[in-house]
Amino acid sequence: MRARFRPRERLRNGAAFDRVFKQGSRHPGRLFLLIAAPNGLSCDRLGLAVSRRVGGAVERNRARRLLRESFRRLERPPGAGADLVVVARAEIVGRGQAEVDREFRERIRRVRRAAGVAGAGPAAGG
């Protein structure tokens, strides 16, 4: 497991977010919506969208920490990467890391299955 959420694993500008929102496939869940688009790189990159609908600053920051940690823990197969934008829903407030991890793995499994990526079976991602 990697120890850090590295800068190269982040979506850094509005143009990258816009591209994912326009071209990406949407995978809704109870706690968040995952939007994924291929990026032509060898690693996945994460962008977070956590609006005030989620709650106050404390709740939004906790949601971001939970989602970043789920991304960091995710085992990703080598190969083509994807840009992932996660749009948090208000239901994420009060949830634990295990529950967020479980949903994140399920959303990623669906992304891989839709893209036809090897390792998209039930054991993928942990």
Query: What is the Cα–Cα distance from 76 to 46, expressed in whole angstroms?
Result: 13
Report the predicted TM-score, pTM, of the whole model to 2 decimal places. 0.85
* φ, ψ of residue 50 in degrees (nearest 5): -125, 105
Q: How far is CA 33 from CA 51, 105, 106, 118, in A?
A: 13, 13, 12, 23
CATH class of the domain at 7-114:
alpha beta
pLDDT 10s digits, 86-102: 999 999 999 999 999 99
Boundaries of every domain in the chain: 7-114
pLDDT 10s digits, 6-62: 888 899 999 999 999 999 999 999 999 999 999 988 889 999 999 999 999 999 999
So what's the pLDDT on residue 25? 94
